[in-house]
Chains A and B, each alone.
Chain A
Amino acid sequence: MNLHQLTITQAKEGLQAKKFSSIELTKACLNRIKQTDKTLNVFITLTEKEALNQARQADDKLAKGEDLALLGIPVAIKDNFSTRDIRTTAASKLLNAYIPPYDATVITKLKDAGMVMLGKTNLDAWAHGSSTETSDFGPSKNPWDPNRLPGGSSGGSAATVAANQAIYAIGSETAGSIRQPASWCGIVGLKPTYGRVSRYGVIAMASSLDSPGPMTKTVADSALVLQVLAGKDPKDATTAPETVEEYTKDLTTTIAGMTIGFSDEYFDGVSEEVKETVLAALKTYEKLGAKVKKISLMAPTYSIAVYTIIQRAEVSSNLARYDGIRFGHDRSFFGQEAKRRIMLGTYTLSAGYFDAYYKKALKVRTKIIADFNSAFKDVDVILAPTAPTTALPVGASLDQAMFGELADMLVEPSSIAGLPGINVPAGFSKENLPIGVQLIGPQFAEKKLIHAAYHFEQATDFHKQKPTL
């Protein structure tokens, strides 16, 4: 096996056992990037020099016997996380020359854990989308088929992990932006509970929804990274005071007796292949000793409207700061998608319409939360398709005002309720494209989700299949 193909867990073992150095591991990733990124267009900014410096420092620490959670492991970061002295664009031309003077809390935590940052990955501009096609730096491509999209908005982060360019990546999800690209690229993507991971320094999209999270090759890796990221941050007042559980502990304990729920409402508009994959996953859980129970949830289609209203409104407010005075260019640099979203948000928040749209959406949000709460009285976690289809062809999203909302229909309800969710590879289509299933849990049930996902992963081998590039 080549070094760039390793998981975090394997790379850590190799580094600790002195089988290879962080410099060697980092160079293997950088070579892989050079070999494949003309095809995939993942990196907006490659930070080769900084990566090698960080790797050298990691090797010094390893030599001294230091043991940090992610010491010397190369990571790719979505380009909406502020990185001190390294350009941060949010994939928008408006910020193409912006060099943040500070780090996002997620970056500070990763630095403290010993990270080696390879570079900043592509996304839909401002994270507005589910394709990476709205990026002002051109679309990223899906490693399983470069004529197809990786999904989005964390499409670059999903593609880089699937293509073995990076050992892991960091993404952010507002509604689908971690889970949907993870599903289309065949990797593990975990969207934590809202407030579990700090938003400080993440270029704001919809502040009542944004949740940073890990994108990894395995579930165990996801647990390792979440352990580093999770926790209260004085710089983000919306982070939760709840105790952070030990996510990597007790992974192997049996899941016999756990109840997995599924809802027919989540099969509407879903392709036959995806539906079959979900049903097969439920069978796998039964074999593992879990109980499978049919439940009824509110139709996800209502969430599209709720999400559209909340997201556009918060976008119009958050993007109001871009005036070209303190940093970035002026407002004429916004792309079509950002303009369209700012316009709708401004409209729904304007005098006379606030109650009809924004307030109405917040009331329906209360009902969606209640709907999930009542479901979680009967089941531990809910299993559902992550995306209605496999990866769509390049060009599919262009000028489709509601493309993202339809692609993310099945992840929007849980996002609106602030719930955690994890995508796990669960099968392949006839065209050999990955299909993912998601597990959704109650707020702060990340440990339970990781536990359930881990056992599914160990019982199957979908996560071991890799694209040929």
Chain B
Amino acid sequence: MKLDVAKIAKLANLPLTPEEKKKFSEQLEETVEYISHLDEIDTENVPPTDHVTGLENVTREDSTSVSLSQTKALENAKTTERGFFKVKAVLQDSI
């Protein structure tokens, strides 16, 4: 099976070098082959378990409590502006 490494990297938003693309392509195919062994196990009518201790609908009171201050919450950001995280433009004016 051939994996589309460039497409996966785009989905994962990972910058990869051409060497990494080549290396990962080989290693991922190896791993995918390994995990495909699960086909040997019959799981017809078996429900999936995503949470092992069986908790359901854990809720809490809808009340406010003291949290991080704005200054604290922003102190690890590389760029901020007027108390906000500053990000690169996502939408651009169409000209």
Contact = CB atoms under 8 A, between A and B. Distances in A.
A455 interface: no
B89 interface: no
B83 interface: no
A102 B67 CA distance: 10
Interface string A50-68: 0000000000000000000
A417 B87 CA distance: 41
A284 interface: no
B11 A401 contact: no
A344 B28 contact: yes
A344 B32 CA distance: 8
A-side interface size class = 35 or more
Interface centre among B5, B9, B50 (most CB of A within 10 A): B50
Contacts of B47: 363, 366
A325 B12 contact: no
B27 A340 contact: yes
B41 A364 contact: yes
Given A238-B51, A343-B28, A326 B85 contact: yes
Contacts of A195: 52-53, 55
A98 B31 contact: no
Interface centre among B34, B53, B77 (most CB of A within 10 A): B53
A324 B78 contact: yes
A80 B84 CA distance: 27
Given A240-B55, A325-B85, A401-B31, A362 B8 contact: no
Contacts, number: 138
A402 B34 CA distance: 9
A360 B52 contact: no
Given A363-B48, A418-B52, A347 B3 contact: yes
Nearest to A357: B35
Given A343-B24, A359-B48, A364 B43 contact: yes
Interface centre among B24, B40, B48, B52 (most CB of A within 10 A): B52
Contacts of A340: 24, 27-28
B85 A309 contact: no
Contact of A331 (B14, B40, B72): B14
A193 B53 CA distance: 9
Given A324-B78, A362-B49, A443-B53, 16 more contacts: A102-B68, A195-B53, A238-B55, A302-B38, A302-B40, A308-B34, A308-B35, A320-B12, A331-B13, A339-B16, A342-B14, A366-B48, A366-B49, A367-B41, A402-B30, A418-B53
